[in-house]
Chain A
Amino acid sequence: MEKQAVVRELEKLVSQDAGVDYDQISNWAYKVRLDSLRELDRETLDVLEDLGSMNMGPEFEWSKEDLQELILRWKR
């Protein structure tokens, strides 16, 4: 998966009306990372690894603002 597609999918997940579903984002991030290990750059893979651990406990959860900031940063 290309990075633009990753950003688009993450944006969809973050902008859901029901709020941030940490389990959903975490599972998505892990799977995208696994599928794209040879395509994405290391920095993106590291962030996806981080997002993948988001449902390990409240200590690992990103705020919605942080996720939106990440999306903006990736879009630039």
Chain B
Amino acid sequence: MFHRDPILVKAPMGRIYAFTRYYRGNNIFDGPHLAFPHDRGFARERLLDLTRHIGDDPFNDRLHDVWQMVFQKPWTRPKSLHELVMDLTDKITRGELFVYEERDPDRSHRIPIHDGPSEGGPAFVDRGDVRAEKSPMDRPRVTGPPVSTSASWGSDYADGLSDTASAMASDIASEQTELYENTSGWGNVMYPIFKPVENAGRFVGNTVGLLSGLSPNGMKPEVAQYWKDMGEGFQALGDRVVDAVGGDGRAAGEITPAIASVITFRRIPDAQKSGLDKLVPDDHFDQGLDLRADTAFASEALARKLSALEDAQRNAARVETLEDGRILYIGPEKPARNPGPTRGAALVTEYTPETRQVRQYYESYDHNGDIVRVHPKMIDGQVVESDHYPPTGREIERN
């Protein structure tokens, strides 16, 4: 009834994930490599990516097999794709399910890295023997010193490392320049996003140098593959960031919570306003009722406040930090159901770390992504009955 452990699932970019209930260790170079860190948001997004990657499994049967493997409930199954993803995310987060990355043997230009001898296969695979003819793209950008060392190999090698670090920083810088040039008007917004990436590029470059320096015979194939994959990862991250800030900059849902937790948007000062700041007068929706702490209502409100904040942090599509320290957890944008001037709406949870105040409101966007209306809903767990800002047609008629 139950499938063997591990279950292999094909993933985008030629990856294969092995889902297993058993921890095999985590070694990015020489051994099993955990593909999903125990971060809830990251795991969920990776699983969602898997469900979107049709491959040869359009109905996600393999992920359902994984579900059965960990839950062992043959009489039932997740009611929806969403439930499937969330169940598996829970298991990964709790350390009851591990996902290891394996290489797709169908992709001959990749270097197979085996977690152990395959069933019926040789006990050890010499990676050097199975490697296909390398294309220039596969070739590591840093090669080690020649076997027969000359007197000047040390300085040549150091120059090579330095060139590589520069080349990586240069690649990132040129992409950054292109983005600046092609997305005029968003330079200010993108700067704080790409600046850390640029710095990370330098860090990567230096780390490549360090790792290569540890290997007197040049970069190990596993190391080269690792950095190649890192490059793809960076590229993928870049694509997501560009998606999220491109155009109107409000493609909510494109920035994953995991990425959002790394990249916190900081707007330029003159745009340093939330929907509330822009549309709601200062003295409205400022504070909830002053509840006595010992009342039953106060404890209910506190529970609601905490669960709302927790839910927002867990499921935010985007996170923005305003200049005064307030944090906006912006939920996935819900598209409008009917045609009209408004494109979509999202539930926003605002948290002020200084005062620990939590406010929640809906905001809607026009087709340019500008906030056009907000509807205050909750302050510190107390539900607010409020008109919209600006009022809707129905409210105008009623008043």
B122 within 8 A of A: no
Query: Residue of B at shortest CB range from A30?
Result: B377
Q: Is the CB of B345 within 8 A of A60?
A: yes
CA distance A43 to B383 in the complex (A): 22
CA distance A57 to B363 in the complex (A): 11
Give chain A residues whose Cβ lies under 8 Å from the Cβ of B337. 59-62, 66
Give chain A residues whose Cβ lies under 8 Å from the Cβ of B393. 57-58
Q: Kindly provide the distance from the CB of B345 to the nearest chain A CB, expressed in whole angstroms.
A: 4
B56 within 8 A of A: no
A75 within 8 A of B: no
Q: Tell which of A31, A38, A53 has the most Cβ of chain B within 10 Å.
A: A53
Q: Which of A26-70 contact B (CB under 8 A)?
A: 27, 30-31, 34-35, 37-38, 41-43, 45-46, 49-50, 52-53, 55-62, 66
- 1/0 per residue, CB under 8 A from A, across B44-56: the answer is 0000000000000
Partner of A58 from B83, B331, B340, B375 at Cβ < 8 Å:
B340
A23 within 8 A of B: yes
Q: Is the CB of B383 within 8 A of A56?
A: no
Q: Is the CB of B347 within 8 A of A53?
A: yes
Sorting the interface of chain B by its residue count into under 10, 10 to 19, 20 to 34 or 35 or more gives 35 or more
Question: Chain A: interface secondary structure?
Answer: helix
Q: Which of B341-386 contact A (CB under 8 A)?
A: 341-342, 345, 347, 360, 362, 364, 373, 375, 377-378, 383, 385
Q: Is the CB of A59 within 8 A of B339?
A: yes
Q: Is the CB of A55 within 8 A of B342?
A: no
Known contacts A41-B83, A52-B362: does B383 contact A30 (CB below 8 Å)? Answer: yes
Partner of A49 from B80, B83, B347 at Cβ < 8 Å:
B347
Query: Residue of A at shortest CB range from B82?
Result: A43
- 1/0 per residue, CB under 8 A from A, across B116-148: the answer is 000000000000000000000000000000000
Give chain A residues whose Cβ lies under 8 Å from the Cβ of B83. 41-43
Partner of A42 from B86, B342, B383 at Cβ < 8 Å:
B86
Known contacts A57-B342, A57-B373: does B304 contact A49 (CB below 8 Å)? Answer: no
CA distance A60 to B347 in the complex (A): 13
CA distance A30 to B360 in the complex (A): 10
B307 within 8 A of A: yes
Partner of B311 from A37, A53, A62 at Cβ < 8 Å:
A37
Q: Kindly provide the distance from the CB of A42 to the nearest chain B CB, expressed in whole angstroms.
A: 6
Give chain A residues whose Cβ lies under 8 Å from the Cβ of B86. 41-42
Known contacts A56-B364, A59-B340, A62-B337: does B347 contact A23 (CB below 8 Å)? Answer: no
Give chain A residues whose Cβ lies under 8 Å from the Cβ of B385. 27
CA distance A7 to B82 in the complex (A): 20
B263 within 8 A of A: no
Q: Is the CB of B308 within 8 A of A37?
A: yes
Q: Which of B58-87 contact A (CB under 8 A)?
A: 79-80, 82-83, 86
Q: Is the CB of B375 within 8 A of A56?
A: yes
Q: Kindly provide the distance from the CB of B306 to the nearest chain A CB, expressed in whole angstroms.
A: 10
Q: Which of B299-348 contact A (CB under 8 A)?
A: 304, 307-308, 310-311, 315, 331, 334, 336-342, 345, 347
